[in-house]
């Protein structure tokens, strides 16, 4: 009898740690469709919903326990049928929301989708607890072992975050393989989502690290496909500290953004590596809207674009307010089959490129640093390129409709040693930049405004090797600040290429008759305080007169 009470207490304590078969997990979600089509004739947002009447099939992923699927208490969800390993339910909620309970931690969810997406399937976890809004891709079944295909796990995680209007999706250390299936569809980035990896250091970087692979990378298998896609009605997408890498560069894209009717905006990439794709980023509007879709307010900060065979960044839309800042492009060799450009802006609204470098190798020149067809304003600040076929080329295809004086192309404090080529009308503004000798290939249609630019490296030190005075090719120089002579290079005065109108009196330098300089160009003017008026050539001993060089000699007016 004296042992009875402690024994009873022990039995009750042990029972508290034995899970019961009736333990239920709660599952909440929507008939959410995460898909970016390309054939729509009206707006089709990247996130859409199947109607409440859609029948949803739940499949058991753990056959060791019964499913025991039931509608949540008070939920409009109703179970239509149930067998050992699957159940079918339908939601009566007007917003396509559903809720059910089950014994497992996750289930496979399937429904018909819509005319663009086709059938939809996800792995749906129980309502995750802990730090709400912060999730690991491994919560959705991703392995990251470099062998298992994690496409469904990542797609499911993105759908789950979309159903909650966004969140942070973390990719712990791992090599996440996607795209093994021949019918692979791009992973769609919904509004409000942040993709967070470990580091943006690219695989094979020239470091002394023992491990050469990026700690967290997403690796695309196959050809003719995109890893991620952004569509219409998408805002506030962030990707940071991760590597996107392709096994094959045949028509593969790291991040593809396409749209037709409704704009998207506020997309940010921070310390992301785009490695070995055909195009690291490819952004374009669909032809049914004449490319008028916009992806605005895009920020690309401290990213790396490594060996992308066509272009690191390609755009063909009417976008606005893009900034590429502190980024690094390593171009593969330009060949007959690959353009190997850093940036190719077929059409673009307003772009700033700042503190950014691009180039190839002396024995394997890359393509263009910046290639453009028809654009709004472009501003390049504190940037440079080397070992590249063109630093900048405008309208390479010589489209007769290209060219606009209204939007300037502006280079500020930048360094370019490779050719800069203009093949259309354009206003070019350059301030404080350093160019190689004979750098420009531009015809008279280009209007140039230049202040403080140099066209060789320090004539007193390296004698400005191979320099000439055709600094801007055949372009029309509207204004160019003066440069004193140095080394073997002849200086030049400030140049005004159009009529100059002064709003106040102009004071010319005063030079006595005996000091009038020789060998000045026709049209040079000074004021001679002791010259005789109306004398040609000028004569001294007078009361002063303006003097001008005419046919090689000074004439006093």
Task: Provide the residue count of the chain.
Answer: 557
Q: Which residue has the higher pLDDT, 39 or 374?
A: 39
Q: How confident is the model at residue 129 (pLDDT cuts 50, 70, 90)?
A: low
Question: Of all helices (H) and strands (E), which one includes residue 99?
Answer: strand 97-102
pLDDT at 66: 85
State yes or no: pLDDT of 13 exceeds 50.
no
Average pLDDT, the chain: 90
Strand 55-60 with 86-91, pairing: antiparallel
In this structure, the number of other CB atoms found within 10 A of the CB of residue 19 comes to 7
pLDDT at 455: 84
CB 410 within 8 A of CB 372: no
Task: Using alpha carbons, select from 282, 301, 294, 360 the residue that is nearest to residue 321.
Answer: 294
What average pLDDT does the segment 73-84 reach? 88
Question: Edge-to-edge strand order for the sheet containing 370-375?
Answer: 187-188, 225-230, 252-259, 279-285, 311-316, 341-348, 370-375, 392-394, 420-422, 440-441
pLDDT at 488: 66
Distance CA 355, CA 328 (A): 9
Query: For the whole model, what pTM was predicted?
Result: 0.90
Reported as a single tens digit per residue, the pLDDT across 369-381 is 999 998 889 999 9
In this structure, the number of other CB atoms found within 10 A of the CB of residue 168 comes to 17
State yes or no: pLDDT of 82 exceeds 60.
yes
Q: Which residue has the higher pLDDT, 492 or 429?
A: 429
Comparing 51-65, 178-192, 245-259, 464-478, the range with the smallest average pLDDT is 464-478
Task: Using alpha carbons, select from 105, 76, 104 the residue that is nearest to residue 89.
Answer: 76
Q: How confident is the model at residue 7 (pLDDT cuts 50, 70, 90)?
A: very low
Task: Using alpha carbons, select from 149, 89, 161, 159 the residue that is nearest to residue 123.
Answer: 159
Q: Check whether the bond before 537 is cis (ω within 30° of 0).
A: yes
Q: How confident is the model at residue 21 (pLDDT cuts 50, 70, 90)?
A: very low
Comparing 76-90, 130-144, 450-464, 526-540, the range with the smallest average pLDDT is 450-464
Reported as a single tens digit per residue, the pLDDT across 258-273 is 988 999 999 999 999 9
Distance CA 240, CA 161 (A): 17
Distance CA 97, CA 6 (A): 50
**In the chain, pLDDT over 70 holds for what percent of residues?**
93
Q: Which residue has the higher pLDDT, 487 or 412?
A: 412
DSSP tag of 532: P
What average pLDDT does the segment 297-317 reach? 97
Distance CA 296, CA 286 (A): 16
pLDDT at 432: 96
Query: Distance of alpha carbon 482 from its chain centroid, rounded?
Result: 38
């Amino acid at each position: 009898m004296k042992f009875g009470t402690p024994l009873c207490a022990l039995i009750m304590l042990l029972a508290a740690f034995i899970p019961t078969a009736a333990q239920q997990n709660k599952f909440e979600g929507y008939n959410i469709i995460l898909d970016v089509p390309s054939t729509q004739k009206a707006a089709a947002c990247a996130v859409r919903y199947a109607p409440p009447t859609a029948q949803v099939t739940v499949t058991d992923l753990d056959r060791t326990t019964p499913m025991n699927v039931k509608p949540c208490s008070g939920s409009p969800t109703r179970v239509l049928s149930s067998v050992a390993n699957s159940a079918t339910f339908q939601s009566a909620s007007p917003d396509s929301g559903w809720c059910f309970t089950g014994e497992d931690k996750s289930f496979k969810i399937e429904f018909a989708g819509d005319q663009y997406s086709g059938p939809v399937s996800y792995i749906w976890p129980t309502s995750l607890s802990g730090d709400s809004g912060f999730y690991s891709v491994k919560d959705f079944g991703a392995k990251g072992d470099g062998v298992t295909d994690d496409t469904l796990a990542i797609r499911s995680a993105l759908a789950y975050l979309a159903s909650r209007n966004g969140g942070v999706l973390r990719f712990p250390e791992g090599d996440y393989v996607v795209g093994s299936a021949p019918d692979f569809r791009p992973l769609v980035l919904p509004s409000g989502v942040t993709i967070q990896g470990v580091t943006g250091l690219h695989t094979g970087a020239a470091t002394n690290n023992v491990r050469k692979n990026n700690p967290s990378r997403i690796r695309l298998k196959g050809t003719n496909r995109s890893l991620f896609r952004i569509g219409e009605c998408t805002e506030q997408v962030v990707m940071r500290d991760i590597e996107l890498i392709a096994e094959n560069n045949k028509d593969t894209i790291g991040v593809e953004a396409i749209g037709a009717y409704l704009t998207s905006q506020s997309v940010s990439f921070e310390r992301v590596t785009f490695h070995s794709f055909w195009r690291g980023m490819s952004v374009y509007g669909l032809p049914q809207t004449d490319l008028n879709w916009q992806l605005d307010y895009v920020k690309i900060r401290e990213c790396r674009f490594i060996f992308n065979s066509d272009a690191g960044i390609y755009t063909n839309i009417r976008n606005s307010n893009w900034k590429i800042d502190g980024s690094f492009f390593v171009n593969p060799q330009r060949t007959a089959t690959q353009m190997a450009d850093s940036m190719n802006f077929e059409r673009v609204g307003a772009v700033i490129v700042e503190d950014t470098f691009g180039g190839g190798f002396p024995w394997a020149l890359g393509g263009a640093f910046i290639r453009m067809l028809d654009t709004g304003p472009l501003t390049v600040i504190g940037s440079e390129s080397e070992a590249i076929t063109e630093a900048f080329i405008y309208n390479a295809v010589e489209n007769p409709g290209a060219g606009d004086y209204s939007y300037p192309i502006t280079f500020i404090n930048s360094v370019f040693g490779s050719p800069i080529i203009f093949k259309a009308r354009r206003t070019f503004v350059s301030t404080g930049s350093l160019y190689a000798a004979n750098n420009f290939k531009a015809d008279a249609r280009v209007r140039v405004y230049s202040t403080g630019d140099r066209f060789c490296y320090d004539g007193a030190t390296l004698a400005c090797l191979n320099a000439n005075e055709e600094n801007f090719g055949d372009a029309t120089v509207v204004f160019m600040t003066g440069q004193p002579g140095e080394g073997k290079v002849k200086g030049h005065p400030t140049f005004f290429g159009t009529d100059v109108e002064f709003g106040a009196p102009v004071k010319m330098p005063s030079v006595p008759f005996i000091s009038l300089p020789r060998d000045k160009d026709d049209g040079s003017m000074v004021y001679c305080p002791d010259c005789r008026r109306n004398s040609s050539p000028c004569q001294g001993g007078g009361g002063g007169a303006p003097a001008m060089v005419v046919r090689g000699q000074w004439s006093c007016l």
